[in-house]
Structure 1
């Protein structure tokens, strides 16, 4: 079941693997009070890194399991964790900007600061700021979500 405990567990698991992730999506919106508490179907995260190499190696080594191969894109990795879908967006530092390159060719620039601290179920975690959460949701169509069904958009495993 997808609960705050599941969110904490996946964040701690990634931290143990040396991956700095921050909460995004519905759980972050709930933590900041932008939406009312509700059931969540997944856990969305952002990973600030040059690439997904650490995640890919953890998946390959079995430290993270149950990758969703149909969601392996230039900008995203996904896996199941405690029966919950976890989706991670890559945020890269380019010059003085923080960027997600959807499909490898569609650039989305995040506002600075990208993340801030927020309390979720009694603990402080890092989450994408309310300004970024609202803008990211508002600009969803610009991310070209229909391309997820294009097999040409998939990135092969290492």
Structure 2
């Protein structure tokens, strides 16, 4: 999933209020949050605005998304309309994900502290 905002502050606050929410602390980074919801692992990538959609891996390694970020039409899931990342963005993200300094996943200083 992607989350369009400048920070995770508001999302973090709302998720803590959900009883079924169980954060995965070892995946709490400046650019990502992970949690289990009813046993399913979910990951959310922060996409910031500015001059174009960008994710700052580790807060300092930019990944520039193509525009438009989202698929043009809403997709219906269990009769609920949702937005989805465009196919070209998903492919590009997957293709380039390993270029985003993967060694930093294991560095304790890369983890973001709780507020």
User: What is the TM-score with the length of structure 1 in the denominator?
Assistant: 0.65
Please point out which of 33, 44, 56 is paired with 1:77.
33
Question: Which structure has the highest helix share of the two?
Answer: 1
Unaligned runs of 5+ in 2: none
CA–CA separation in structure 2 for the residues paired with 1:145 and 1:125:
30
Deviations 1:68-90 (A, max 9, x none): 11111000011110110110000
RMSD (CA atoms)? 1.6
Instruction: Tell me the TM-score normalised to structure 2 length.
Output: 0.88
Q: Which runs of 5+ in 1 are unaligned?
A: 1-44
Q: Which of 24, 41, 45 is the matching residue for 1:68?
A: 24
* Count of aligned pairs between the two proteins: 112
Output aligned runs, 1:136-147, within 5 Å. 136-147=93-104
Name the structure 2 match of 1:149. Answer: 106
